[in-house]
Amino acid sequence: MRKIAIINQKGGEAKTTTSRNIGEILSLKNYKTLVIDMDPQGNLTTNFDINKREVKTLFDVFNKEVDINEVILNKNENLDIIPNNIKMARANMQFAGHPNWARLLKKYLKDLDKNYDFIIMDCPPALDFSTYNALNAATEIVVTLQAEENSLEGISDLMDTIDEVREDNEELKICGVVVTKFKGNTNLHRGYKEVLDNYFTETMFKTVIRDNIKVAEANQSHKSVVEYDKSSNGAKDYLMLVEEIIARDI
* CATH for 164: 3.40.50.300
Domain count within the chain: 1
pLDDT at position 81 over 70 = yes
Percent share of the chain, pLDDT over 90: 74
Q: Hey, how many other C-beta atoms are within 10 angstroms of the C-beta on 202?
A: 6
Residues 136-157 have a mean pLDDT of 86
> For residue 97, what pLDDT is reported?
80
Residues 234-243 have a mean pLDDT of 98
**Three-class SS state of 35:** strand
Q: Domain limits at 31? A: 2-247
Q: Exposed e or buried b for every residue in 21-45, given b needs 16+ CB within 10 A?
A: bbbbbbbbeebbbbbbbbbbbbbbb
pLDDT at position 37 over 70 = yes
> For residue 250, what pLDDT is reported?
64
In tens, the pLDDT along 148-197 reads 877 777 778 888 889 999 998 999 999 999 999 999 899 999 998 998 88
Percent share of the chain, pLDDT over 70: 100
Contacts of 223 (CB under 8 A, 6+ apart): none
Q: How far apart are CA 167 and CA 222, in angstroms?
A: 38
pLDDT at position 219 over 70 = yes
In tens, the pLDDT along 85-116 reads 999 999 878 987 888 999 999 999 998 989 99
Q: Is 12 left (phi over 0), alpha (psi -120 to 50) or beta?
A: left
